Chain A
Amino acid sequence: MKVADVFHFRNAEIKALHLTWIAFFITFYVWFNMAPLASSMLKSVDWLTTDDIRLFAICNVALTIPARIIVGMALDRFGPRRVFSVLMVLMAIPALVFAFGNTMTQLLVSRLVLSSIGASFVVGIHMTAMWFKPKDIGFAEGFYAGWGNFGSAAAAISLPTIALHMYGGEDGWRWAIAQSAIVMAAYGVYYWFAITDGPVGTVHRKPRKAVALEVSTWGDMVKLILWTIPLVGVLSILVWRIQNMGYLSTTGAAVCYAVIFAIVCYQIVQILRVNVPILKKGVPEDDKYPFNSVAALNSTYFANFGAELAVVSMLPMFFEETWSLSATAAGLIAASFAFVNLVARPMGGLVSDRMGNRRFVMLSYMFGISIGFALMGLMNSNWPLIIAVAITVFTSFFVQGAEGATFGIIPSIKRRLTGQISGMAGAYGNVGAVVYLTIFTFVTPTQFFYIIAAGAFISWVLCVMWLKEPESGFAEEYQVSSVDLQIEEEERRRQAAATAG
């Protein structure tokens, strides 16, 4: 498949790709419909404070991880078409509640529920995987991810204009958010009828039920447990923050902590149940894979996608306040960060495939992210705006390229377990977003950029230590032996005789 093939709309699989990335695009648009309108909200709702807005930003990425787990189960049962449609229609409800919410509780809870929409990535990836041939899948998934993530840029570009100029007035932002929700629900209905799960005639095979990732050594199992704890455990940070700000009683917080603790324990028990029997039997040498590589990729996704979600949530306001721009202009300029997605993310995957050395590509990208954010940390109102935009674009080029490169390596770690490994890494993107946005409630934007740069640098160090260049195929060779050929030859003769007779 050539890049130019994406214009052949008449091909069924290309049509499916376009329908699916647009669905993902819309979900991303709704997911990040608050950031560009934050200043309008502050102006029109008199009891809202900047701290509240920052809290909403954390809530906005909080429940994505549990939602991914639930969506993963639903996918196995119902297939991506139904799940995607239902997700879009259902998630329009909290979006509308948020749009017309008048109390802190309404806004907080609806934003928290709405964060489940981030699980749409998983659904679309499965849909894309059903439509494309092995040779094209890498490109198709990169294209889907990049163009879908662009939705957050589209939201930053268009929403302030819609809110201030189309609707205008006090409640302009409410109507703008409501409009995005209604469009999403409508597209969800359309998607149900417009697409099928894979080409007509595909048998939807149920994957093997996997409750936890398999590992190769006892040491790796300990590492896996340690890396699993933050997946849900990170939500305790959010609970602590909400309680800290006085929106949750001590009893309520205790209940939340107990639930989180129970889920984490359950996950650990599952890991033990899956792995202890395997490890007792002993894993054959050629079936082993290094868990360290998985850990390194978790950290890269934490530091690149986590950073992207966090930065997209705060950048419009940062530009607005630092250079005292209008909401519309700030939205446009902040969108330059996510705008690069159109090219950078698919290109990250492409570069990773094309260079002889994936590890080197990953390391270069992570290093670029640290430099980019360090430069963003230097920015202040004395800088010409155009330079600031250039640095923003430079940084995001590395951030999104690194996302592509991360998902470029994942399939070559252990083919059998790719789905689970990518699920874990993907979830770490959200862990990163929750951690970064929580930190953001305590620091200034400048300090925040430095912290993200440090995060990317730590991830770079982890990659240097842990990430191994995947060596595919050296251990497993398919020898087509002469015996095989003989058997097939006899089979052919027998068939020929049968047709002749």
Chain B
Amino acid sequence: MKIMIAYDGSRNARLALAQTITMFRELKPQIVLVAVAENPRDITSGNEDLFQQEVSELKGYLNEAMDVCQNEDVGAETLLLEGDPRKMLLYAAEKKIHPDMLVIARHSHEPDGGFIARSLTYFVDELDYMTFGSVSSFLARRIQCPLLILPSR
């Protein structure tokens, strides 16, 4: 069983990896950890350093995740892509990895702060859902393999 996990090193992604291993350990899964380095949407020339920094950070996260998998005795490989996370994850699943299941952790958008801050966040989130902005809703509509979305707590 091949399981692809969208992994960005965040707390939610780490939880998702742990949960996946717990749930599917018996099936002897082969886990593919996919990270996407997003272009900084910066319009100055200072973005190259930032981008390289991001790439090396993601590499570090992927290595940590590999260690976790090795400690748990689960087969794993990693893949690092560059571009728009939504499109690249779709591309990786459809064109390269052909997993039996894709696991993504939904990002939590717990609005905090006062009334204005909350309504602003709600508005932007709503825009996200309307326009397939968030990674999970974008993939949910398009991906051709079983998709497991793990909510964050």
Q: Is A274 an interface residue (CB 8 A)?
A: no
Find A137's partner among B41, B62, B78, B81 (CB 8 Å cutoff): B41
Q: Once the chains bind, are A350 and B82 in contact (CB under 8 Å)?
A: no
Given contacts A473-B88, A488-B63, contact A415 B39 (CB under 8 A): yes
Q: Once the chains bind, are A356 and B132 in contact (CB under 8 Å)?
A: yes
Interchain nearest-CB distance for B35 vs A (Å): 9
Q: Once the chains bind, are B131 and A416 in contact (CB under 8 Å)?
A: no
Given contacts A351-B131, A412-B39, A480-B80, contact A134 B87 (CB under 8 A): no
Q: Quick check: which of A1-9, A214-222, A243-251, A305-313 contacts chain B, the rest being far away?
A: A1-9
Q: Once the chains bind, are A2 and B43 in contact (CB under 8 Å)?
A: no
Q: Once the chains bind, are A422 and B44 in contact (CB under 8 Å)?
A: yes
**Complex contacts, B124 vs chain A, CB 8 Å:** 2-3, 350
Smallest CB-CB separation from B53: which chain A residue?
A134
Q: Quick check: which of B11-19, B20-28, B113-121, B144-152 contacts chain A, the rest being far away?
A: B113-121
Q: Once the chains bind, are A355 and B38 in contact (CB under 8 Å)?
A: no
Q: Is B72 an interface residue (CB 8 A)?
A: no
**Complex contacts, A356 vs chain B, CB 8 Å:** 86-87, 131-132, 138
Q: Is A129 an interface residue (CB 8 A)?
A: yes
Q: Once the chains bind, are A3 and B46 in contact (CB under 8 Å)?
A: no
**Complex contacts, A210 vs chain B, CB 8 Å:** 45
Interchain nearest-CB distance for B88 vs A (Å): 6
Q: Once the chains bind, are A480 and B40 in contact (CB under 8 Å)?
A: no
**Complex contacts, B50 vs chain A, CB 8 Å:** 133-134, 137
Q: Quick check: which of A232-240, A394-402, A403-411 contacts chain B, the rest being far away?
A: A403-411
Q: CA separation between A472 and B82, bound complex, in Å?
A: 7
Q: CA separation between A488 and B63, bound complex, in Å?
A: 9
**Complex contacts, B113 vs chain A, CB 8 Å:** 4, 7
1/0 per position for A316-354, CB-CB distance to B under 8 A?
000000000000000000000000000000000111011
**Complex contacts, A473 vs chain B, CB 8 Å:** 36, 81-84, 88
Smallest CB-CB separation from B119: which chain A residue?
A4
Q: Is A46 an interface residue (CB 8 A)?
A: no
Q: Once the chains bind, are A411 and B42 in contact (CB under 8 Å)?
A: yes
Q: Once the chains bind, are B44 and A485 in contact (CB under 8 Å)?
A: no
Interface size (A, Cβ < 8 Å)? 46
Find A4's partner among B36, B43, B118, B133 (CB 8 Å cutoff): B118
Smallest CB-CB separation from A471: which chain B residue?
B83
1/0 per position for A119-137, CB-CB distance to B under 8 A?
0000001100110011101
Q: Once the chains bind, are A476 and B44 in contact (CB under 8 Å)?
A: no
Given contacts A7-B116, A205-B49, A356-B86, contact A137 B121 (CB under 8 A): no
Q: Is B94 an interface residue (CB 8 A)?
A: no
Interchain nearest-CB distance for A78 vs B (Å): 15
**Complex contacts, A474 vs chain B, CB 8 Å:** 83, 91
1/0 per position for A431-474, CB-CB distance to B under 8 A?
00000000000000000000000000000000000000001111
Given contacts A415-B51, A472-B84, contact A137 B40 (CB under 8 A): yes
Find A411's partner among B41, B62, B109, B133 (CB 8 Å cutoff): B41
Q: Is B100 an interface residue (CB 8 A)?
A: no
Given contacts A474-B91, A477-B81, contact A134 B45 (CB under 8 A): no
Q: CA separation between A479 and B34, bound complex, in Å?
A: 10
Find B40's partner among A2, A205, A411 (CB 8 Å cutoff): A411
Taking CB atoms and an 8 Å cut-off, the chain A residues in 175-211 that contact chain B are 205, 207, 210
From A3, A133, A410, residue with most partner B Cβ within 10 Å:
A3
Q: Once the chains bind, are B41 and A415 in contact (CB under 8 Å)?
A: no
Given contacts A4-B121, A485-B66, contact A419 B45 (CB under 8 A): yes
Q: Once the chains bind, are B87 and A4 in contact (CB under 8 Å)?
A: no
Find B44's partner among A4, A129, A133, A412 (CB 8 Å cutoff): A129
Q: Once the chains bind, are A410 and B117 in contact (CB under 8 Å)?
A: no
Interchain nearest-CB distance for B7 vs A (Å): 12
Given contacts A3-B120, A356-B86, contact A419 B44 (CB under 8 A): yes
Q: Once the chains bind, are A479 and B80 in contact (CB under 8 Å)?
A: yes
Q: Is B37 an interface residue (CB 8 A)?
A: yes
Q: Is A138 an interface residue (CB 8 A)?
A: yes
Q: Is A141 an interface residue (CB 8 A)?
A: yes
Interchain nearest-CB distance for B31 vs A (Å): 14
Q: Once the chains bind, are A478 and B44 in contact (CB under 8 Å)?
A: no
**Complex contacts, A412 vs chain B, CB 8 Å:** 39, 84
Q: Once the chains bind, are B128 and A419 in contact (CB under 8 Å)?
A: no
Q: Once the chains bind, are B55 and A478 in contact (CB under 8 Å)?
A: yes
Q: Once the chains bind, are A129 and B83 in contact (CB under 8 Å)?
A: no
**Complex contacts, A349 vs chain B, CB 8 Å:** 41
Smallest CB-CB separation from B36: which chain A residue?
A473
**Complex contacts, A495 vs chain B, CB 8 Å:** none
Interchain nearest-CB distance for B25 vs A (Å): 22
Q: Is A270 an interface residue (CB 8 A)?
A: no
**Complex contacts, B132 vs chain A, CB 8 Å:** 354-356
From B40, B62, B66, B133, residue with most partner A Cβ within 10 Å:
B40
Q: Once the chains bind, are A137 and B45 in contact (CB under 8 Å)?
A: no
Q: Once the chains bind, are B82 and A422 in contact (CB under 8 Å)?
A: no
Given contacts A4-B111, A478-B81, A480-B79, contact A419 B46 (CB under 8 A): yes
Q: CA separation between A134 and B39, bound complex, in Å?
A: 8
Taking CB atoms and an 8 Å cut-off, the chain A residues in 49-104 that contact chain B are none
Interchain nearest-CB distance for A187 vs B (Å): 23
* A–B pairs, 30, beta carbons within 8 Å: A2-B120, A3-B124, A4-B118, A7-B113, A7-B117, A134-B39, A134-B54, A137-B47, A207-B45, A349-B41, A351-B131, A356-B86, A356-B87, A356-B132, A411-B39, A411-B41, A411-B47, A415-B47, A418-B43, A418-B44, A418-B45, A418-B47, A419-B43, A472-B39, A472-B88, A473-B83, A478-B80, A478-B81, A478-B82, A480-B63
Chain A residues with CB under 8 Å of chain B are 2-4, 7, 125-126, 129-130, 133-135, 137-138, 141, 205, 207, 210, 349-351, 353-356, 407-408, 410-412, 415-416, 418-420, 422, 471-474, 476-480, 485, 488
